[in-house]
Amino acid sequence: MRALMWLLLAVLVIFALRKKNQSRSTPVNPAQMRPDAADDMANSTADIETMLCCERCQVYFPASEAVMRGEKVYCCTAHADQA
């Protein structure tokens, strides 16, 4: 009975994921887009920005905020200078 419950859960998850993918892949006519829809898109791409790990404090931060020192990356100039 427990196995059946897990199977049902797995099917639900697959359905949920498919629904999500479908809504993303639907073609959007730019003329029909709301003026703020572009902002929504910009925000969603920011959410999936590459995360980097600071060489000093091991904290993950967006790649756009990275401070480079040679081959190494740091979360801030303070940590880059301390290393």
Question: What does the binding site for Zn ion look like in residue numbers (CB under 5 A)?
Answer: 54, 56-57, 75, 79
Q: For residues 4 and 13, what is the distance between their CA atoms, to the nearest angstrom?
A: 14
**In this structure, what DSSP letter does residue 31 have?**
G
Dihedral through CA 74, CA 77, CA 49, CA 45, nearest 10? Answer: 180
Task: Give the nearest distance from C-beta 74 to Zn ion in angstroms.
Answer: 5
Least Å from the CB of residue 13 to Zn ion = 36
CA distance 3 to 47: 35
Of 52 and 75, which has the nearer Cβ to Zn ion?
75
- Identify which of residues 37 and 57 has a Cβ nearer to Zn ion in the complex: 57
Q: Which residue is nearest to Zn ion (CB)?
A: 54
Q: How far is the CB of 69 from Zn ion (least distance, A)?
A: 12
